[in-house]
Amino acid sequence: MKHFIITGTSRGIGESIAEQLISPDHYLHCISRVKNARLESKSNNITYYEFDLNQIDQIEALMNRIFNSIDLPRTEGIYLINNASMIAPVAFIDKVNVNDLTGNLKVNLLAPIILTSLFIQHTKYVESNKRILNISSSSAKHHHPGMSLYSAAKAGLDVFSQCVGLEQNHSNTPVGIVSIWPGMIDTNLQHEARSQDQSTFPSAELFGMAKDTGMLTTPEETAHLIIDFLFKIEFEHGSVVDIFDYSKLVQQ
Ligand SMILES: NC(=O)c1ccc[n+]([C@@H]2O[C@H](COP(=O)([O-])OP(=O)(O)OC[C@H]3O[C@@H](n4cnc5c(N)ncnc54)[C@H](OP(=O)(O)O)[C@@H]3O)[C@@H](O)[C@H]2O)c1
Q: List, for residues 89-105, the tens digit of each pLDDT value.
A: 999 999 999 999 999 99
CA separation for the pair 227, 245 (Å, rounded)? 15
What domain count does the chain have?
A: 1
Calculate how far, in angstroms, residue 225's C-alpha sits from the geometric centre of ligand 1: 17
pLDDT in tens, 34-73: 999 999 999 999 999 999 999 999 999 999 999 999 999 9
Calculate how far, in angstroms, residue 110's C-alpha sits from the geometric centre of ligand 1: 15
Calculate how far, in angstroms, residue 163's C-alpha sits from the geometric centre of ligand 1: 24
For residue 211, is it within any domain?
Answer: no
Buried b (16+ CB within 10 A) or exposed e, 199-228: eebebbeebbebeeeeebbebeebbebbbe
pLDDT of residue 226: 98
Domain that holds residue 176: 2-183+219-251
The CATH number that applies at residue 74 is: 3.40.50.720
pLDDT of residue 167: 98
For residue 209, is it within any domain?
Answer: no
Atom of ligand 1 nearest to the CA of 84: 24
Average per-residue pLDDT for the chain: 97
For residue 206, is it within any domain?
Answer: no
pLDDT over 90 at 249, yes or no: no
Q: Which of 236, 228, 90, 125 is nearest to 176 (CA)?
A: 236
* Residues designated as active site: 150
CA separation for the pair 99, 212 (Å, rounded)? 34
**From the CB of 16, is ligand 1 less than 6 Å away?**
no
pLDDT in tens, 195-224: 999 998 999 999 999 999 999 999 999 999
For residue 243, is it within any domain?
Answer: yes
**Percentage of the chain surpassing pLDDT 70?**
100
**From the CB of 187, is ligand 1 less than 6 Å away?**
yes
Residue 86 burial by CB count (10 A; 0-12/13-18/19+): exposed, middle or buried?
buried
Q: Which of 119, 133, 111, 226 is nearest to 171 (CA)?
A: 119
pLDDT of residue 251: 78
pLDDT of residue 250: 82
What DSSP letter does each residue of 46-57 carry, written as one string?
EEEEE--TT-GG
Calculate how far, in angstroms, residue 18's C-alpha sits from the geometric centre of ligand 1: 13
Ligand 1 pocket, mutate which of 6, 9, 13, 99 (most atoms under 8 A from CB):
13
pLDDT over 90 at 248, yes or no: no
pLDDT in tens, 103-124: 999 999 999 999 999 999 999 9
Buried b (16+ CB within 10 A) or exposed e, 113-131: bbbbebbbebbeebeebbb
pLDDT over 90 at 168, yes or no: yes
Q: What is the three-class DSSP state of 156? A: helix
CA separation for the pair 96, 179 (Å, rounded)? 27
**From the CB of 17, is ligand 1 less than 6 Å away?**
no
For residue 50, is it within any domain?
Answer: yes
